[in-house]
């Protein structure tokens, strides 16, 4: 497919599944963000996912399944903690990393012997997945380094002509990517914060540890964490509104997003969120909207480091470090 050919947009899971089953690549909604999927038994389609996104080859893809029990088709062995997490959080916004079966190709896992597996809860995603003849490998449906897409229009903006089909759905309910837990060893480890919070994970697997890897370290446990992420063109500045905020300069072409009232007057755009859920839901769309409006700096309030606040902070800090 070349750039002069447009991507087919549909709201029919049947049509979208037909593309995947015939070796195409399809963007689809989930409760976290949009994914860009291909059947794991279609190596050329997997390759096209990497080229459409401009994604580095050493960054593995998450494999999506329609039903929690399907995990046995892609994983050789589940630790007791992995079983507990599947029981509590599948289907939902959690990815677990486990030892892979040989049917999962190295191109999906970037040569690792583990695979990230997720069973989304979104009805549209499951209607698609249950019609696919194999599990579906899917990264987020955005150009590499850009904020993840939380609605189909921004998928089209990034990937029109590069992918075969977009399955349209509602805007993604959560708005941030799934929580990732490494579960292949003895101690489960949180690799990426998300809507399944550390507190919720600890309630059922008390031994879980939070990953101490920083983006600057060379070989983080999750390969994708070493890349620039979630970044709009505008510069991201994180602020704490509960402290005395330093005088903000040049806010004429600046925007603010956060839970508190803006710390100064004169922002071009202000998005005040009533709850953490709303903040997560709005964040990536706001980043993209700010770019459209020519905003040069986005001031973002850092929420407290607990619950969903941990995931929002993670994305804000990575976006701020991307510049
Ligand atoms: O919510 C989500 O997780 C979305 C939807 C579409 O499911 N997907 C998503 O995929 O965010 P992506 O590719 O943007 O992020 C997946 C992350 C990457 O950082 C990647 O390195 C990590 O998961 N990952 C995948 N397989 C892994 C593995 N075997 N071991 C460690 N990390 C892995
Ligand atoms: Mg991504």
Q: Is 178 in the pocket of ligand 1 (CB under 6 A)?
A: yes
Return the pLDDT at 230: 75
Give 60-105 pLDDT, tens digit per residue: 999 999 999 999 999 998 999 999 999 999 999 999 999 999 999 9
Q: Residue 247, class by beta-carbon neighbours within 10 Å (0-12 exposed, 13-18 middle, 19+ buried)?
A: exposed
* Straight-line distance from the first to the last Cα atom of the chain, in angstroms, rounded to the nearest whole number: 32
CA–CA–CA angle 196, 80, 194 (5° rounding): 10
Asked whether residue 3 carries a pLDDT value surpassing 60, the answer given is no
Give 123-179 pLDDT, tens digit per residue: 999 999 999 999 999 999 999 989 999 999 999 999 999 999 999 999 999 999 999
DSSP 251: G
Q: Rounded to whole angstroms, how far apart are CA atoms 123 and 29?
A: 9
Query: Of all atoms in ligand 1, which is nearest to the CA of residue 115?
Result: 29
Give 248-302 pLDDT, tens digit per residue: 666 779 999 999 999 888 899 999 999 999 999 999 999 999 999 999 999 999 9
Indicate the top mutation candidate among 116, 280, 311 to test ligand 1's pocket, ranked by most ligand atoms within 8 A of CB.
116
Nearest residue (by CA) to ligand 1, atom 19, is 224
State how far Cα 312 lies from the chain centre. Answer: 12
Nearest to 119 by CA among 36, 32, 25: 32
Q: Is 121 in the pocket of ligand 1 (CB under 6 A)?
A: no
Residue given tokens 């088709």 in the structure block: 73
Which alpha helices (DSSP H) does 205-275 contain, by range? none
Give yes or no for a contact between 159 and 87, defined as CB atoms under 8 angstroms apart.
Answer: no
Give 5-36 pLDDT, tens digit per residue: 799 999 999 999 999 999 999 999 999 999 99
Give 114-125 pLDDT, tens digit per residue: 999 999 999 999
Give yes or no for a contact between 161 and 5, defined as CB atoms under 8 angstroms apart.
Answer: yes
Give 178-221 pLDDT, tens digit per residue: 999 999 999 999 999 999 999 999 999 999 999 665 444 434 56
């Amino acid at each position: 497919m070349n750039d002069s050919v447009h991507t087919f947009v549909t709201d029919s899971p049947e049509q979208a599944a037909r593309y995947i089953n015939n070796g195409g690549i399809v963007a689809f909604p989930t409760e976290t963000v949009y994914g860009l999927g291909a059947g794991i038994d279609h190596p050329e389609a997997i390759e096209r996912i990497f080229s459409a996104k401009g994604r580095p080859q050493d960054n593995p893809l998450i494999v999506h399944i329609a039903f929690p029990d399907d995990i046995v088709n892609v994983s050789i062995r589940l630790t007791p903690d992995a079983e507990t997490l599947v029981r509590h959080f599948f289907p939902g916004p959690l990815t677990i990393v486990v030892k892979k079966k040989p049917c999962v190709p190295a191109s999906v896992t970037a040569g690792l012997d583990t695979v990230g597996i997720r069973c989304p809860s979104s009805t549209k995603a499951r209607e698609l997945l249950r019609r696919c003849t194999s599990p579906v490998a899917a990264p987020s449906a955005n150009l590499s380094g850009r904020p993840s897409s939380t609605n189909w229009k921004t998928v089209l903006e990034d990937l029109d002509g590069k992918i075969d089909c977009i399955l349209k759905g509602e805007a993604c309910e959560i708005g941030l990517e799934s929580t990732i837990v490494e579960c292949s060893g003895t101690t489960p480890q949180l690799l990426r914060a998300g809507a399944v919070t550390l507190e919720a994970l600890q309630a059922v697997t008390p031994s879980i540890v939070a990953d101490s890897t920083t983006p600057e370290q060379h070989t983080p446990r999750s390969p994708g964490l070493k890349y620039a992420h979630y970044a709009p063109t505008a510069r991201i500045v994180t602020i704490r509104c509960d402290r005395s905020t330093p005088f903000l300069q040049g806010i004429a072409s600046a925007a603010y997003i956060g839970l508190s009232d803006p710390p100064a007057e004169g922002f071009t755009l202000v998005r005040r969120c009533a709850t953490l859920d709303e903040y997560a839901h709005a964040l990536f769309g706001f980043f993209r909207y700010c770019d459209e409006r020519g905003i040069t700096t986005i001031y973002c309030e850092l929420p407290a480091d607990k619950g969903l606040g941990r995931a929002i902070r993670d994305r804000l800090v990575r976006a701020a470090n991307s510049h």
